[in-house]
Amino acid sequence: MKRWLRRFAFTLLGFMVAAALYVAVACALMLWPANARAPSAPTAEVEAWVLSNGVHTDLVFPIHSAAIDWRQLFPFAHFKAVPPDAEFIAIGWGDREFYLNTPTWGDLTASRAFGAMLGGNRALLHVTYLRRAQLRHGAYDLPLSRAQYAQLVDYVQASLPSGRAVPIAGAHYSNDDAFYEAEGGYHLFETCNTWTGRGLRGAGVTVSRWTPFDFNVVWHLQPAAP
């Protein structure tokens, strides 16, 4: 029994040290951001945001612009009922099982959370059409040039298998959202927020070099005016 307890204690200690190191590295890299010297556009050419719920981040873009009409890639027919006054689209990446089985935080279980961290599941894109009023909380300004926006558009399209949006039949949280097949798989070092951060880094936005948490993504951004 003493030997078993000793092994358990060392295992628990190792887990705690690994978790602390994981968080410490994530925090330290915020102080050494990518694109730190990137020139900021004096006036944003595209109205965009990063939307955070405190855990997960989405990229938010206008539904239609010169770069793309998202309704062509994610048609309204894939959604139950898009609000007629929707102006923006929120796009996020995440674990398939977590996305489909955790519509609210009340549905979260320890096994599902650990299953996502350990990996092995395919990813999905979660797409939501938004009204402007839905950006009052948790939104961070993302001033983009047209060239930066074009890079992010390409990034989202590259996250779809063969660039095609294949919806998951019957998978919705509400009337204004839908899920799509996506490239890649979720695990401890490849989270919903690393997907967002990679897109921002590729577009030349100042952001942490590694973004496993939502605060890594938004640290160098300004909260949107209410």
Cα–chain center distance at 54: 11
Which helix (H) or strand (E) segment holds residue 154: the answer is: helix 146-158
Q: Report how far apart, in Å, the C-alpha atoms of 182 and of each of 100, 197, 213 are.
A: 14, 17, 20
pLDDT in tens, 151-176: 999 999 999 999 999 999 999 999 99
What is the C-alpha radius of gyration for the chain, rounded to an integer number of angstroms? 19
Give dist(CA 81, CA 216) in Å, integer.
33
Mean per-residue pLDDT, 185-212: 94
* Other Cβ atoms within 10 Å of 96 Cβ, number: 19
pLDDT in tens, 39-90: 654 467 999 999 999 999 999 999 999 999 999 999 999 999 999 999 999 9
What confidence score (pLDDT) does residue 36 get? 85
Q: For residue 98, which phi and psi values (nearest 5 degrees)?
A: -65, -50
Length of the chain counted residue by residue: 226
Chain mean pLDDT for the chain? 88
What confidence score (pLDDT) does residue 160 get? 97
